[in-house]
Amino acid sequence: MKSLLIQEGRFIDPGQGLDTVANMLITEGIIVRLGKGDLAPESDCDVIQAKGLVVCPGFIDLHCHLREPGFEAKETIATGTMAAARGGFTTVFCMPNTAPPLDDIKAIESVQAKARTEGVIRVLPVGCITKGRQGKEVTPMGVLGSTGVFAFSDDGSPVLNARLMRQALEWSWTNDLLVIDHCEDTALTAGGVINAGKISQELGLPGMPAAAEEIMVARDIKLAEKTGGRVHIAHVSTAGSVELIRQGKARGVLVTAEVTPHHLTLTEEKVKECGTQAKVNPPLRTAEDIKALIQGFKDGVIDIIATDHAPHTEADKQGDFARAAFGISGLETAFGSLMGLVHGGQLTLTKLIAGLTSGPAKIIGNRYGRLGTLATGAPADITIFDPDKEWQVNPGDFASKGKNTPWAGATLTGKVMATIFAGKIVYKDASIVVNPK
């Protein structure tokens, strides 16, 4: 592998408190030097001129759907990881709601093998909490953890049985694993398609109340408190959930949380404009909820940003709200949509980068190596972006098979220009030229 030199970029690494214009040398997939002056080696190397661009650790997505095995019409490991690379992500955790579900060693090792041969970035499978995601029996989490699985979830389905969730959290404490729960009381959301409130009443559509999420968030935090387990609240969407997590953290509970780009940037009003393209679970909420989510992320109550990338076929999203699938194809628009919060003064650039890099790396720990950092000796997983570049979202250009997005036609400001995984350029914008030294 040739060495790679990144010149004159603005290097930002929130985990190290780093924000400086410098050069970086990468050799054999490892960051070997970062500093001023001429870092070029004597031997040949490739050079990326990054003047005017930001260079940061590769983004880490703790929650996405690659659909394989079983739903390859929606996405594959190959297409999903290429979409991730185009979005600046170098590590993704893929959810287990596949067919078969990722509830045994054979299924998990199959995904791991496919990722090694067809993926362009790091893919880390999430195991099921319960066998078959049926909510009846907890999987052997310790055994599955021996394959390298760190996180467990029945994503798409909440663990409704509190006894089973308690058992899973006890396993997480014993084996230092993470339990990710989709918090939804399905008795309260049955038949619902959008947020319960003004817009659902106006459109005559059945709603999904905030209480359905908050009841389960409160339960999971209490169970984590009783067991000492680690619970991670997926796709937080309501002001009430933020407050519950805030209180749990104040009591010392091992609770972390994520928020999606769409819940930080889009309200329930988007449904009127985009129809089923804005149908997600949990649903888009109110402006007051967004305000609380942003503040919660700024305060550290919400730890990270995760895409909940949910690609679907065109047919999946057609028809009325009752039949259309929940979900947004979000890997390729995540960064650009979030940069609207930076340009609008609601988030600092450093805080946004932290939510995509050092934040998730802190939750994961060093079990997969030193991720989310530009430190010397760390894997060269790097994202290069132009914070001011305007671009128009054209789903037809997506690498993802999923073209389902409420951002279609929108002009976003902030674009990923190149993504480097283990020292290899896995995506670059057409305007980025790589020159030999």
With H, G, I as helix, E, B as strand and everything else as coil, classify residue 218: helix
Tell me how long the chain is. Answer: 437
Buried b (16+ CB within 10 A) or exposed e, 378-395: bbbbbbbbbbebebebeb
Q: Is 308 a catalytic residue?
A: yes
For 78, residues 6+ apart whose C-beta sits below 8 A from its C-beta are 118, 119, 120
CB 5 within 8 A of CB 25: yes
Extract the tokens encoding 371: 């991720």
Q: Which of these is catalytic: 61, 220, 308, 316?
A: 308
Q: Which residues pair with 21 in a beta bridge?
A: 10
Residue 18 CB-density burial (10 A; 0-12 exposed, 13-18 middle, 19+ buried): middle
User: Of 292, 419, 273, 415, which Cα lies nearest the Cα of 343?
Assistant: 415
Contact of 419 with 426, CB cutoff 8 Å: yes
Q: If 0-12 CB within 10 Å is exposed, 13-18 middle and 19+ buried, where does residue 266 land? A: buried
**Contact between 129 and 168 (Cβ < 8 Å):** yes
Q: How far apart are CA 132 and CA 100, in angstroms?
A: 8
Q: Would you state the structure tokens that stand for residue 42, as one six-digit string?
A: 């004597």
Are the C-beta atoms of residues 108 and 127 closer than 8 Å to each other? yes
Strands (E) across 185-340 are located at 194-195, 207-208, 231-233, 255-259, 304-305
> Any idea what DSSP says for residue 130?
B
Cα 58 to Cα 356: distance, rounded to the nearest angstrom? 8
Compute, in degrees rounded to 10, the torsion defined by CA atoms 24, 27, 30, 31.
Answer: -20
Classify residue 147 by burial, with Cβ atoms within 10 Å: 0-12, 13-18, 19+.
Answer: middle
How many angstroms separate the CA atoms of 107 and 99, rounded? Answer: 9
Contact 416, 86 (CB under 8 A): yes
Q: Which of the residues are catalytic?
A: 308
